[in-house]
Structure 1
């Protein structure tokens, strides 16, 4: 399945109607959230369910489970599912519940659009029941960006011949870009369903129709289709290194994200000042928020304009990161359509470190009497949350997988624990764990950049993808050295540096 997004040529009247419909969706969503919270609370008070849940988790914790225990576990699972459904916690129960509430919005939203919103809330409740979810949250009107359907016959209908949409009395034309050849090719497929999307710009909301079409998207690149070679990709928190047969790449992910961060920070400070001026009674003398004051917040027109601008900046940052990833991936696809990457959990890198440890080096701390004392300070527990938010390496892998599959290739994931690309040396055939700050290493008397060498090892992995193939590495190493030295020399001449990641 692929998508095409077209800008809608809306009038002021159209925008007013669409805004009313987004208000209707937000109301339906929050009514369902309230209902699901009640159902989940009743379930948590169900003594039978809680006892069965305790038995089920006790069986799962055992190292070995007998056949009798497996059969009993299935019985418990069935009974728990019955209790969950009995409390109204299912997709169809949510859809049936909201049916009555949605009658007042019959002229605004179709039945399938209401059902789709119920399905979205159910996905959140499902994560709490069976995944790692903790709590369902109510959403503000500004946070709703899409109204989705299920088919092209109910709700939003897109007409290919005239390039316009029909949506419960609204007929809106679509604006086509200047280079429309790709869009015309993409629209040749059968339409699955449509959704209305809105994006915030400095001058207000812009509205789009997103058309979901069956089949694969048309191909833009032709060089990768008949290329059978494999590229090794070492994806880091802030950088990406790739080694193919004839090229090596070492690039920073989304290098201009800091520009957007500075703009966002500056605007947030300005907004905070504006909010404090408009609400002097909501703050304590020390500047903290007065929690005992439950009056409504007052927002000036200037503040609301800045709020729109802030949302627009976040949209621009997100679009820039995606575009930056697409450009790098298109360059990789010119070399090959198949890739080997390490199976990393970027979500785990977001969390703070669990262990409380002290630094290895002592720092001189000045005392009150003027003397200095050496103290081993505690290590920071913060990890890579901010960098992951700015660089989005997981999104890079997702886009790479989608595009590789489109061009007949694939993304193969090596087992990180057994492979240990950053620790292996193919010349000595041993593993040495380096410090995170060490960006270069010696291999056979040659200085290699650590990320590029990891990508080289991934490219030359064995069939099981659990360790490097030493024979392949020995054969390909000289060519890799030539390509690496040429790349690093060119980067240094052009002033491209990132010492904490590249080593120069």
Structure 2
């Protein structure tokens, strides 16, 4: 087997005309049929395999080599492996019109995708996969550099795919050189994507390149340990010299009401054009098909998809920015390994809007690329939201109680306290001695951070090396500020108050700019 090498993705927009788009749409429709055929066949074989006596006998055995061998023999007997499903896909392709539009490698990668979905379901790692509807398959992968490949003509990259020659749309400036460095790496394989942007279909080429992704500018990584407490709507981070508590992804606007109104309008349109699919009491008639989708319904669906796309783009941008700010404070980030499924059950709307699991994944990827590390520890043995470092007692608090009371009567914000305790967790155990040793220096830092909710205690906030104050609408130390020349530091008010207290005067504080300024939403765009 080949040695595994690191990979990164370089995505480029394709230059297409009406004829190219028609050919691509037909090929994606053909791959959609292959995917559904392979998915149905793999599910059928899985159900038959689970009903067999050998499978039931293997399940009753203790874990060991004999049990594994019996499982493997049963899967081979029922043809539940990738090569057998690929042969089924090739037989389906050659038996109909699909063979005129898809090659052998395209069929194999599509069938392998369907088989892996069923395989993950068989292992209990995912739910039962669903069949894809029309225009619901959004990507087709090449296999190596065989069918979908990248070639250069007149110093311009062109994607070739079975008679199609689609040039890549490049940035003519490429000031940071990222594009040139990415294209100089070896291409492992190419993936073709279909996306809907502002109601129009756009086609992209994702080049899976060999090596590490080139950096636009080196990400500065601090030294030290950062404790992180990630909640469904807030995030707290504490390092040696800084502490901050701020809303999690505040730039992602609350569009639940807009999405709900669009969904209700879509449902009314669907009921009006498909009356036979619903009973007299308004419930859905089981087994009926929604066959008619009016023009109004398609317009509403496109608006809803555009809102979701904008939210996803802003969420991903905010996650990357926040990950950079966390890494700028330390090279070891410690956080609890929380159950994101529990988050979804208890805080469904907030998790849908902010996606904390995606943020942790981005943070791990950036940390690995920058030479840092993210350490996740168990919550059952630490219980940071319940424990008190001075007494060692664990008292369960309701979610509405946001302040932790120590033995001496002093109070500290609950999320900040958990983030600070995370810095002293070693091997899934809290080191109470280190907590007591550092508490005197950390107490005023945490109190200042809690006094102003989304402003950092030190005033500098998480460093943002990629943002400059001169940019219009840039990102400040804590949150985005709209307009030029309105950059302020959170330490100004703290420093003025401290200077007045030391001097014994009643110097009035200079009013600052509100960090909670409401951002523009897409409500006007939708209307």
TM-score in same-fold range (> 0.5): yes
Residue 502 of structure 1 is matched in structure 2 by none
**Aligned positions of 1:113-132 closer than 5 A:** 113-132=106-125
Report the secondary structure of 1:268's partner residue. Answer: helix
Question: 1:109 aligned to 2:71?
Answer: no
Structure 1 residues 126 and 228, CA gap change in structure 2 (3 angstroms): same
Structure 1 residues 126 and 253, CA gap change in structure 2 (3 angstroms): same
Residue 227 of structure 2 is matched in structure 1 by 232
Measure, in 2, the Cα distance between the counterparts of 1:223 and 1:36. 45
Measure, in 2, the Cα distance between the counterparts of 1:271 and 1:145. 23
Residue 135 of structure 1 is matched in structure 2 by 128
Report the secondary structure of 1:141's partner residue. Answer: coil
1:445-501 residue CA offsets vs partner (Å, 9 max, x unmatched): 432111111111111223x2x22323332343344333333333444773659xxxx
Residue 66 of structure 2 is matched in structure 1 by 75
- Per the TM alignment, residue 295 of structure 1 is displaced from its structure 2 partner at its CA by 6.4
Question: 1:343 aligned to 2:349?
Answer: no
**Aligned positions of 1:55-454 closer than 5 A:** 55-56=60-61, 59=62, 73-103=64-94, 104-157=97-150, 159=152, 161-177=155-171, 180=174, 181-220=177-216, 222=218, 224-225=220-221, 227-291=222-286, 294=288, 297-351=291-345, 383-443=346-406, 444-454=408-418
Residue 10 of structure 1 is matched in structure 2 by 16
Structure 1 residues 384 and 336, CA gap change in structure 2 (3 angstroms): same
Higher deviation after alignment, 18-27 or 336-345: 336-345
- Per the TM alignment, residue 223 of structure 1 is displaced from its structure 2 partner at its CA by 5.3
1:258-304 residue CA offsets vs partner (Å, 9 max, x unmatched): 53322221211221222222233433343333447x46532211212
Question: 1:469 aligned to 2:463?
Answer: no
Structure 1 residues 185 and 336, CA gap change in structure 2 (3 angstroms): farther
- Per the TM alignment, residue 243 of structure 1 is displaced from its structure 2 partner at its CA by 0.9
Measure, in 2, the Cα distance between the counterparts of 1:432 and 1:259. 34
1:92-130 residue CA offsets vs partner (Å, 9 max, x unmatched): 111122122234545533422221112211112212332
- Per the TM alignment, residue 175 of structure 1 is displaced from its structure 2 partner at its CA by 1.8
Report the secondary structure of 1:263's partner residue. Answer: helix
Unaligned runs of 5+ in 2: 1-6, 455-511, 518-527
Contact 1:182 1:218 in 2 (8 A): yes
Structure 1 residues 343 and 11, CA gap change in structure 2 (3 angstroms): same
Contact 2:199 2:306 in 1 (8 A): no
Contact 2:227 2:238 in 1 (8 A): yes
